[in-house]
Each structure stands twice: as structure tokens, then as C-alpha cells.
Amino acid sequence: MGGIFPEKEKLDEIARWQGQIVDGFGVIGPEYVRHRLRRRQLDAWFEKQVKAARAGDLDVPAGSPFRQMLDHVDADGRPLSDRTTAVEVQNVIRPTIATARFAAFAAKALHENPAWREKIRTEALERGVTWDGPVAEAFAEEVRRYYPFVPLLPSVARTDFEHQGIEVKKGDRVLVDIYGSMRDPEYWDHPETFDPARFLETEMQHSEVFVPQGGADVNTGHRCPGEIIVVGLLALTVAELSVREWTVPPQDLDYSMSRLPALPADGVKLAGMSSPGR
Ligand code: HEM
């Protein structure tokens, strides 16, 4: 885990708790209470690891993400506080775990689009590897467009401004419509159709209305710096699923975009997974 090596049971628990933090962030109800509790517990656990590492009681490999965060100093030469280091480590781990939500939607999409599954399988077998395949990547991009499990981003205006004739005052609540931007027929052909071809040999992934993880320039705007990781992981998952045989037992694959973050009702369970190549 980026330079921290807990026992297997602890690792499973951390993964489960990080998943629960993701699951509860936009819900009013018990999930949100659990989200807050897990966050407190994990912040404390990671802070303990930071303190142990800085005291020399933990072996952290050189070059690992954890070591880099432990050794990072700001412009004035000061290291991050123990608490901030603990939070920053999790800022990498937690969203990587959250990519599993896109993976669940990708499995549903492969199940519902067998012709694409076959294309991706052919691509992977021809290339001899399951990473960086253009067809798998186009499929991953379409999953991010079609199933944005965080369909809106809430924000507060920092200044007065006008947008498309609407006056916004400093302090006003602003919602960025992630879902709507990626379904707008003005920019997307047949936006209600799941079609990875829209990202094959096109530049649509660089379009300003393609905002599954925030928008504008990553350095100056509100774009997630982890996009390249998500697309890489997702394309790999899609290709790995395509070179295997599996079935989808009876379950509810429906989902609601008004549940934040969204996920198909039964989480997308697959059965009878074969070895690669079938
Ligand atoms: C699972 C899918 C993901 C989604 C939907 C997502 C979405 C977002 C969004 C909307 C922002 C806010 C941008 C802003 O308002 O400035 C953000 C920020 C961020 N994301 Fe992601 N992200 C994902 C995965 C990842 C991954 C895998 C990583 C790294 C391993 C990552 C690292 C970050 C970091 C470090 C920030 C904060 C950037 C800053 O404040 O400068 N994200 N993400």
C-alpha cells in the first residue's frame, strides 16, 4: 500500500473502510454517520503510521509514495505535519479504491454490450497484453461519460460573476452539472446511447464538456490530477474482464444517479470467472 505494509486482515479492513468513506459522502442517513466514523478511525490509524515511520519504528522503502510524503518539505523547508501527511497518503489510496465504482459500471456495460466485449478481447489477444489497448481505453472513457457516479459537484462562488446571462454573487451555492454536460445533445451525438466509438480515433476525451472528474486545466482549473490513473486502471480492468469467461447471476443492475455516489443496486456480482484466454 504505497510503502505501508499492514497484515492482510488489516489491509482488508482498511480497503473496506475506505470504500465505506466513499460510499457515504453524499448520503443523508446512516451511511454518512459511518463515513464520518471511518474517516476518524482511518485518519488516526494513518497518523500512527506516520509517527512510527518518523520515529524510525517502521521500515518505509525509499522511493515509495509514503516515503516521498514523509520526506516532502514545503517552500520554507518545513515537512508536512503528521496529520496532513496521514490525510495526503489517503488522498491517493481512497480515490484509487473509488475507481472500483467505475469498474462495477464497466462490468455491467460489458455484460450489456457483448460485441464490444468481443472487440476488446480480440484487441488484447492480438496485442498480447491487457494494458493500453485503444479499444479498451475508448470503452473506459465511455464508462466515465455514461456512468459518472458523482453526477454533480457542489461549490461556493469566490467572486461575483456572470455566466450565460446568470448573475452569481460571491458566496452563492453553485452546482457543476457533470451528468448534464456529458449528455448535452449540442456536443454529443446520441448522448443516451452507450457507444465507445465516440472516443475511438477522436479527440472527444479532450473536449471541454468531457468532465467525469472535474473540468478545465488540471494545473489551474478544477480537474482531478488522477484521471490518467483512473483511465489506465479502468482500461486494464475492462481488458482483463474481456479475456475471461464469467456470468452475471440474477441480480438488480439498476442504479439511480440521485444516490450519491451511484452504484448498481446489487453492486454487479460476477460468477464463474475463468482464467485469462478462457
Ligand atoms: C475514482 C474516480 C475519481 C473521481 C470521480 C475523481 C474526481 C475528482 C474531482 C471532481 C476532484 C476535484 C477537482 C477540483 O475541484 O479541483 C478531484 C481532485 C483530486 N483527485 Fe480525483 N477523482 C478520482 C480518482 C482519483 C485518483 C485515482 C487519484 C489519485 C491516485 C485522485 C487524486 C486527486 C487529488 C490529489 C485531488 C485534489 C487536487 C487538488 O486539490 O489540487 N483522484 N478528483
Residue 91 in contact with ligand 1 by CB distance below 6 A:
yes
Q: Whose CA is nearest to atom 36 of ligand 1?
A: 224
CA of 176 to the centre of ligand 1 (A): 15
Q: What is the DSSP secondary structure assignment for residue 199, as one 8-state letter? A: G
The pLDDT, as a whole number, for residue 28 is 87
Give the number of other CB atoms < 10 A from CB of residue 223.
15
Q: Where are the alpha helices (DSSP H) in the chain?
A: 8-24, 30-54, 65-71, 82-112, 114-127, 134-146, 178-181, 227-242
Span 212-259, pLDDT tens digits: 999 999 999 899 999 999 999 999 999 999 999 999 999 999 999 999
Mean pLDDT of 263-273: 96
Alpha carbon separation from 181 to 123, 151, 152, 207, 262 (Å, rounded): 31, 10, 10, 11, 17
The pLDDT, as a whole number, for residue 276 is 87
Span 114-173, pLDDT tens digits: 999 999 999 999 999 999 999 999 999 999 999 999 999 999 999 999 999 999 999 999
Mutational pocket test of ligand 1: of 94, 182, 213, the residue with most ligand atoms within 8 Å of the beta carbon:
213
CA angle, corner 80, sides to 23 and 20, nearest 5? 10
Q: From 128, 105, 114, select the one nearest 276 (Cα to Cα).
A: 128
CA of 94 to the centre of ligand 1 (A): 10
pLDDT of 19 above 90: yes
CA of 6 to the centre of ligand 1 (A): 25
pLDDT of 278 above 80: no
